[in-house]
Amino acid sequence: MEDDNPDTSFPHWIALEYAQMIKWAGEGNTVIFSSLSPTSVKSLSEQLVARGAQEGSFRAETRSVRELMKQEGVPLEKVCLLDPRAEKEIAPEDGKEYDWFLFGGILGDDPPRDRTGILRRDGYSGRHLGPVQMTTDTALGVTSLIVSPPHKTLSTITFVDHPTIRFDEHEGVEMPFRYIVDEKSGEPVLPQGMREHLKCVRARLCWLGDEGRGGELTDWFGLRAQG
């Protein structure tokens, strides 16, 4: 569990990504944010509800994923770890094989530091999402598109790598990740409010992370999939 600091609130940019994860998970699924401090549980829950998250669409927990699995009776073989070093790529049939999909350890990491290895050693089955690093909300979105209807595959999802997010004709920022491309606009799918936040950071009017986290997390997220 992260250290508790009652004087801090959950970082804005991370809350934006978490809200997007809930949208990608869709109706009937629950996103579980684990290993949080009591202060972060309260702050994150308030921010997500303020952004329209519905009751039952998420849970913010101080418990670790291992504690949650034990207490809720979820066996190891029903949990899929999204692991860039896994031999197999995620596939539609995985939606029937697994009940939980486990993400984490990549928010703010460029280049990635293989914090997924913390859980790899516990023996989870692993699936990868291709060779290019994604933000956690994108990773969950890709997984949801594949293991739930419309049951796409990695080869049928349109991606853009390292896009430049434009604020105007002259200003923009390159993002060092892979994103899903919106079929209608042709633009990378970003969390609602993220473009404005990046512009704010670019202008040095706000801070990307906070002193307590440095913009990095080791939390883990569970997606309950409905095939």
**One pLDDT digit (tens) per residue for the chain, 227 residues:** 555 666 566 788 889 999 999 999 999 999 999 989 999 999 999 999 999 999 889 999 999 999 999 999 999 999 999 998 899 999 999 999 999 999 875 444 455 555 566 677 788 999 999 999 999 999 999 999 999 999 999 999 999 999 999 888 888 889 999 999 999 999 999 999 999 888 887 776 555 544 333 333 333 444 544 44
* β-pair type (58-60, 31-33): parallel
Measured CA to CA, the distance from residue 99 to residue 30 in angstroms comes to 11
* 124: CATH: 3.40.1280
* CB-CB contact of 159 with 179 (8 Å): yes
- 227 assigned to some structural domain: no
Q: 């896009």: which residue's tokens?
A: 163
CA–CA separation, 56 and 111 (whole Å): 34
What is the domain extent for residue 90?
12-220
Let me know if residue 139 belongs to a domain.
yes
Domain count of the fold of the chain: 1
Distance (Å, whole) CA 78 – CA 44: 27
Residue with token string 């944010």: 33
* pLDDT at 224 (0 to 100): 46
What's the rounded Cα separation, in Å, for the pair 25 and 97?
Answer: 17
Distance CA 71, CA 65 (A): 10
How far is it, in rounded angstroms, from Cα 126 to Cα 180? 22
Q: Which residue is associated with the tokens 């796409």?
A: 152
Q: Which two tokens stand for residue 196?
A: 């404005």
Residue 106 resides in a domain: yes
Radius of gyration of the chain (CA): 17
For residue 93, the tally of other CB atoms under 10 A from its CB is 12
Residue 4 maps to a domain: no
Q: Is residue 31 part of a domain?
A: yes
Q: What is the rounded CA–CA span in Å between residue 141 and residue 23?
A: 9
In a domain, 46, yes or no: yes
Residue pair 70/37 in contact (Cβ under 8 Å)? The answer is no
pTM reported for the whole predicted model: 0.84
The Cβ-side half-sphere exposure at 211, using a 13 Å CA radius, reads: 3
125's CB contacts (< 8 A; 6+ apart) are 77, 79, 80, 81, 98
User: Is residue 7 a part of any domain in this protein?
Assistant: no
